[in-house]
Structure 1
C-alpha cells in the first residue's frame, strides 16, 4: 500500500494577478441609418484604443450528480482549485442533461456548459481554462470541447480557451492512475480477492482508455478487472463478461469499487444497489461474494492530483499578457487543448 500522493505539489502564486486596464469593446454592428445618440468616436488610426482588461477564469465541467451526499468529491475539487488559484473566478457545468433536469425539478437548477460559458463571458472573463472532470475522453468530454471552442471569438466571445484533459488521456496518465489505484483499493483486501472496478462507459472511441487502463493495472495486479455500465457487444467491459472472467480465474470473492468521480445514482443504484439488475446482485447471483464501498475517484487525493495537474497545465497555457493594444483592441484569440 503506497502512501497517497500529495494533493498540492505546486504553489500557484501569481495566478490571480489583476490586469486592471480600462477599455470599451466597440460593437460596430449598430444601425447607423437611425439618429441614435451613439458617440463612437471612430478613429481609424486606432490611437485611442486602450487594452481590454485581461481576466482569467476556470470552468469545472463534470458529468454531474443530483444526490447532495455524493457531491463531496466536487466540493473537495473546488476547494483545492480555489486554494491553488486564489482570486480566479471558478464556475461549474454539468454535462448530463438528465442530472440537470432532475436538479431543476428539485429547485436546484445547474448550468449546462453553454450556459456556464455565457455567464463567465458576461462576467468579463476573457481567458478561460475548462477542466474536464470526466474519466475518459468520450462523448461527454468531446461535447464539452465542441461547445467551449464555439465560444472563442476576438470580440463576441473569449479571447482564449484551454481545455484540461480527462483523468485517463495520455500514457503518463495511465501510469499515474495505476499508481493511484494502489491506495484506492482498501488496505484490508486479501491476496485471493479480486478487485472489480466499474466505470460509466461511453459510446465513443474514448472507451478504449478503460481497456488500456485495465491492461496497465493488470501488469502489476492480474486480479484487477475493469468493467463499464455502458459497453458494446464484443467488449469485455459488461457485467456478464466480468463474471465469466472471474469464474475462469476461479475467483469467489471480490471488492466491487466504483471507478467514477463521485458516488451518485449510477454507483448507489446501478452498481451497488439491491435490485436484480445491479452489478452487486449479478455477481452475488453468480456465487461470488461481494465486498463493496460507495466512493468516488475524485474523493481520493492521488486521482484528484492528476486532474489538478491537467488544470494547471491548461491554465498555464493561457496567454494572460495583454496583447490587445497591438491588435487594435480586438485581442488575439486562441482555442486549444
Structure 2
C-alpha cells in the first residue's frame, strides 16, 4: 500500500513538472527573439589577470556587435574570493537564470576553458539541464580552446606567434597547462607532439596532470638546454602562473629548473591576452551563433 502511494505521488510530481516545463516553453515561444552571449571562464581572483578577460570581451563585442554579452565563472572558490573583495560574478546556473529573466530566447554559451575537462563537462550538464527545462528557444554550448584537430593546428600557430622574439632556437619554451584527472588531459601531450614537429624545443607540462615538470626537466637536461622561457598555457596569468610557475617557492618551475642549472625567463601573460589564441574562442562563438539559426 505504502509503495503504491509513493508511486502515485512520484507520478503526480513528474506530471506536474512536465506541465510546468511545457507552460514555460510555450511562454518562451511567444516572446520576441533576443540573442545573447554568455562567456564562461574558470575565473581568477588576480586583478592583473582581468586583462585577459577584457581582451576576450572586447573581441567578442567587436566581432558580434549588437549582441549583449554576459559573464560567469565556474569556480566557486574564485567567486567567493571576489565577493569578499566586493566583486560579484555569477555561476553559469545563476547567469542563465538571469538571462531567462531578461527574456533572452537564443543564447550562445562560450566556454573559455583550454580543454574539455571536468569544468567543461560540468558546464555541459548545466546547459543541457536548462535546454531540457525549455527556458530558451535555443541554447548552444561552444567548444573550449582546444577540441578538434583544426583547433590544435591553430593553437600550434598561436603558440609560435606568442613566443618572445628574443628567444633563440637553442632556448627551450615550456608551456604550463593546468592539468586534470579527466581523460582530456591527454591533449597536453598531443599538443607537445605537434609543437615539436615544428620546433623541437617547445615543451608542454601541467601543474596537476601529465606531463609533470620533473619530466620536462629531464628532457631539457638530455638536450643540454641551458635557458628556458616559461609561459602559462592558461587563459589568464593567475595564481598558478605567478606562484607554481614563476614563484619563489622550492617547488615552483623556476626554482626546480634553476637548481638544475637552467636559466629561466617567466612570461606572465595568459593565452587570452594574445589575439592569436583569443580568435580561436571568438570563432567558436561564431559557430554557436550560426547554430542558433538552424
Which category describes the TM-score, using the shorter chain as reference length? 0.7 to 0.9
Q: Indicate the residue corresponding to 2:75 in structure 1.
A: 96
In 2, Cα distance between equivalents of 1:218 and 1:261? 22
CA distance in 2, matches of 1:204, 1:99: 21
Tell me if 1:310 matches 2:289.
Answer: no
CA offsets, 1:180-201, max 9 Å, x none?
Answer: 1111111100121011110111
Larger RCO (alpha carbons 8 Å, 6+ apart): 1
More helix by share: 2
Counterpart check, 1:298 vs 2:272: yes
Task: Give the structure 1 partner of residue 43 of structure 2.
Answer: 64
Q: Which moved more, 1:274-283 or 1:215-224?
A: 274-283
Preserved contact between residue 29 and residue 137 of structure 2 (Cα < 8 Å)? no
Structure-2 residue corresponding to 1:14? none
Q: Any residues of structure 2 matched to 1:5-154 within 5 Å, and which?
A: 51-153=30-132
CA distance in 1, matches of 2:144, 2:60: 16
Does the CA contact (< 8 Å) of 1:153 and 1:159 recur in 2? no
Structure 1 runs of 4+ aligned residues shifted over 3 Å read: none
Matched residue, 1:324:
none
Secondary structure of the corresponding residue to residue 196 of structure 1: strand
Q: 1:264 to 1:78 in 2, by over 3 A?
A: same
Q: Distance in 1 between matches of 2:29 and 2:46?
A: 47
Say whether the 8 Å CA contact 2:31–2:103 is kept in structure 1: no
What is the TM-score when the length of structure 2 is the normalising length? Answer: 0.88
- Aligned match of 2:253: 279
CA distance in 1, matches of 2:291, 2:29: 24
Q: Which residue is equivalent to 1:332?
A: none
Structure 2 stretches of 5 or more lacking a match? 1-17, 21-25
Write the deviation string for residues 75-119 of structure 1: whole angstroms up to 9, x where unpaired: 011111112222212111111122111111212121111111111
Deviations 1:238-290 (A, max 9, x none): 11111111111111211111111111111111111111121111111121110
Q: What does the per-residue CA deviation read over 1:110-166, in whole Å, with 9 as the maximum and x for residues that have no partner? A: 1111111111111111111011111111111111111111101465x1221111111
State the number of aligned residues.
272
User: 2:180 maps to which residue?
Assistant: 202
The equivalent of 1:220 in structure 2 is: 198
RMSD: 2.0
Aligned to 1:172: 150
- Quote the Cα distance in structure 1 between the aligned partners of 2:172 and 2:69: 39
- Secondary structure of 1:151's match? helix
Query: 1: CA distance between counterparts of 2:267 and 2:233?
Result: 11
Query: 1:262 is matched with which residue?
Result: 236
